[in-house]
Structure 1
Amino acid sequence: MGIIESRPSLVVAISSRALFDLDESHQVFQTQGVDAYYEYQIQHEEDILAPGVAFSLVRKLLNLNELFQGRVKVEVVLLSRNSADTGLRVFNSIEHHGLDITRAAFTGGRSPFEYASVLDAHLFLSADSDDVARALQSGVAAATIAPAHPGDAQERPLDEGVDQLRIAFDGDAVLFSDEAEKIYRQQGLEAFEASEKAAAKRPLEAGPFRCFLEVLHKLQSLAPEGTAPIRTALVTARGAPAHERVIRTLRTWGIRIDEALFLGGMEKSAFLKAFQADIFFDDQTHHVESAAQFVPAGHVPHGVANKG
């Protein structure tokens, strides 16, 4: 028997409402019920859905297969609460837009979050916050896609001449645990900075997105330095002296991050716009809502900021 060559892989699970603009049909579901929704989707199944907030991100993810020239395998899997009948419109739209998505789970109203872990997904994106919270609890990096604002990320030209996939992360409670955030919220900024300075050489515990970042780093390492089709950024409210522990933590993990922005409490959205992020992940809703004015953003409902 021949030896089967394994390739580094990245699996992203995404809901239909994150991939396409389903606001109109979702409104039918909310106001008229499931039967009316079913009839609406059947009547409109030949109508192609417009791109949703995460559409450009998905297209760039799939494009990595071509940019890496077959050395990696990036797969996007659709997870949807639709039934197979109502989901036909979604698959018709996938085909129309030329997206190489071949696997899907239509759960007929049941939460599909469990399939994210069965698929060994490295990331799950959804418009349903309950599904995201349950996926996080099962150990999958997950985020709730923030709605697009008129005239912003959703309506940007889909081809801006930037093939590179650009992903930005908050630090505490996203890449790292919320241990430092707890001190900040309980004791204030001075205590937080003193604690982080004292613990500068002790690595932070991993947060829910550490493994996803690690996979991105492994893919980046396959390209010559400076030519990787993936670029990552840490965009954090931390400033000096709380920066050192973060840098040393990433060094201990053996993970390179391309850009690190220590903003010392400054608003993040302008920096994310300048970075041209294809998506930004943060645990605090006000940062997500602010960022979503300019770039796709996902809320990570993890850590002390989301308790209660």
Structure 2
Amino acid sequence: MEKTHINIDFVELQNEACKSVRRASVFMALGVNAATNPGFNEYQLTETPKIRLVPSNVTEETLRHFKSEFRNWIEAGALRELAEGFATFLDRLHYILRLIEAAVSGVASPLDYAKDSQSRFERAGTPNKLNILRQVFDVGPKHAHELQSISKARNCLSHRWGRVSESDVGPDGTLLVQWLGMDFLAIEPNGTEHLLADMPEEGILLPDGATIATRAVARKRSFAPRKVLSLSSRDLAEICWFYQHEINVTIQSATEYASRSGIEINPTDGSAVTPEID
């Protein structure tokens, strides 16, 4: 049987995964900005009275309720897209890793081997997918626990309109949402730090100047049962950034696995070529 090479492009996989994050970020921004814009109050789909489902002269209180529920709906949809996009990314990555594993270990039919294990992997939930990737290949994100906490928040928004129930809470009795965020700081020569997010509108005087720096920070929001889950626009933006960060970390660990397996990675475009296989 004629042997062939299989080209693997980790950068293409990374770009496709990050595209799903950007899509969720843009759609969530459009929805959240509409929900928080006091001048945007168009909630009717049509001007035709016969097919309107709600009256056009609702009270201000009802309108605020509409917009609050709309924001929850938008956030739930965007968090679902982030989670599902990440799960699809894991599926594609698993297939590549199985193919590498089969090629370097001399499996008789690497393509069949990869496809067979792939079908089982795709039926697994995300926590199991992460466990498989970590245990078999030592590949995966750095903050898997935090990613799962965001999925729990999405479930609460989707199934309980954001009101935390006993089924949402963890061992500490709360729904804990965690992610990696980013602080931007101005650091004076004497070491005094100023969070740019806390700067007053008029600014502050720094006679000796300052260095602008960034710092990764562990974020967490805790919600007790019967409380309404609420995340700020900054929280949501950081969560999107966090997903992209974890995709990049996962890709890096995958390229390291390929290198450990004897697969040469092209430093200019991130591509790799498996050994010759049947």
For the aligned pair, the TM-score class normalised by the smaller chain equals under 0.3
RCO greater where, 1 or 2, for CA within 8 Å and sep 6 or more? 2
Name which one, 1 or 2, has greater alpha-carbon Rg. 2
Tell me which protein shows more helix as a share of its residues: 2
TM-score by length of 2: 0.25
